[in-house]
Amino acid sequence: MNEVDEKFYETYGKKTKIREYQGSGKKILGSFCSYTPEEIIHAAGLVPIRIFGERTDMEEVNTHVSSWICYYARRCLEDGLQGDYEFLDGIVSVTSDDTNMPMYSIWKKEVGANYAYLVQLPFAINETAIKFYTKILKKFKRSLEEFYSVKITDQRLKDSIKTYNRSRALLRELYDLRMSMSPKISASDTLKIMLASYSMLKEEFNDLLEGYIADLKESEPLNDEKIRVHVSGTVLHDVELLEIIEGCGVDIVSDDLCTGSRYFSFNVDETYEPIEALSRGYLSSKTTCMTCSRQGVYPLDERLSYIRDQVKASGADGVIILGDKGCDLCAYGLPTMRKELGKDIPILYLDVDFPLAAEQYKTRVEAFVESIKG
């Protein structure tokens, strides 16, 4: 077992911290999307975690949803229906896509939740939308206060915002060590750390990560010369898939994954009133798959610009797009992304489904690597 597994990955895989919180009487709320304003949940004295589906055999979920919806939603629901999230006191979801909303409803009815709340996201991004979303987040705050009999003061919100901003800064620092021309950490190990960040209180995670980064800076670079690749996609929590790609002679040096750089691609401005600051912060993300847009900006332009910046900064030799054929948002942007990114850099598209077709992915990635090497 390496240091990352011992310090971070077991926290996610064995839910060690979650069980610890549960034993001490803390209430745990699960969410399905990186747009969930975790700072408000944290400021209420609750434990926000991210729900991920580990099961790949769909025994229960296909009686509730169509088999063609996104694999992330199906796997989350399967885990919930099988009782894997019995420790949750409630769930919070957002209207970020057409799957999150029915997933929230099915979970609430079939899995059960003492507390359940659906946060409504605006689908335009301008000052009017920010004002609207500020009101929505204030309603969410009041809901938590009333249900859990707590007072979420401005100071508690400010403290939570500061804690989460520190976490984002540390994760960016970790990613810089992965992105360097002599990487000190692999993408698969980085994902293990990301998964731990979703599975424990941020203040504890921050202290753990800060110490690990200090040690990592003093360590030797990874001793390999591989093709450098940027990975694009949505939710990815399967370390095995990244390990398959890395095993084909690839260093994944950057990404725009929902469970990767998207999660910390923005900061919350601490000079604003706390709820407005959260509204502005979450709506400032330029990496999302959502089809919302700023005035006069084509929805995908900002994401494409972000990917190009990542590719340039990391010195990537190619881009691997991990697609989910059940995700409408992925399908919406895919043709444009392949066309526009393909003008400047080699592209490989992998249609991801579970169980993983390891040999098929390996064959295609190896061919992609050889094409880049020429």
List, for residues 277-335, the tens digit of each pLDDT value.
Answer: 999 999 987 666 554 545 545 567 888 888 999 999 999 999 999 988 777 777 777 88
Which residue, among 342, 167, 95, has the nearest Cα to 103 in the 3D structure?
A: 95
The answer to whether residue 312 is domain-embedded is no
Give the domain CATH number at 35.
Answer: 3.40.50.11890
Distance CA 91, CA 117 (A): 7
List, for residues 195-204, the tens digit of each pLDDT value.
Answer: 999 999 999 9
The answer to whether residue 227 is domain-embedded is no
pLDDT of residue 290: 57
The answer to whether residue 273 is domain-embedded is no
- pLDDT for 101 beyond 90: no
The answer to whether residue 310 is domain-embedded is no
The answer to whether residue 11 is domain-embedded is no
The answer to whether residue 7 is domain-embedded is no
pTM above 0.85, yes or no: yes
Give the pairing of strands 293-294 and 347-351: unpaired
pLDDT of residue 268: 97
Q: Burial letters for 34-65: b for 16+ Cβ neighbours within 10 Å, e otherwise?
A: bbbbbbbbbbbebbbbbbbbebeebeebeebb
Domain range for 34 is 17-155
- Ranking 6-20, 249-263, 324-338 by mean pLDDT, the lowest is 324-338
List, for residues 108-123, the tens digit of each pLDDT value.
Answer: 999 999 999 999 998 7
- Which residues have C-beta within 8 Å of that of residue 296, sequence separation ≥ 6? none
The answer to whether 276 and 130 are in contact (CB under 8 A) is yes
Number of domains in the chain: 1
The answer to whether 366 and 338 are in contact (CB under 8 A) is no
The answer to whether residue 127 is domain-embedded is yes
Could you tell me which residues are beta bridge partners of residue 116? Answer: 91
The answer to whether residue 294 is domain-embedded is no
Distance CA 157, CA 153 (A): 6
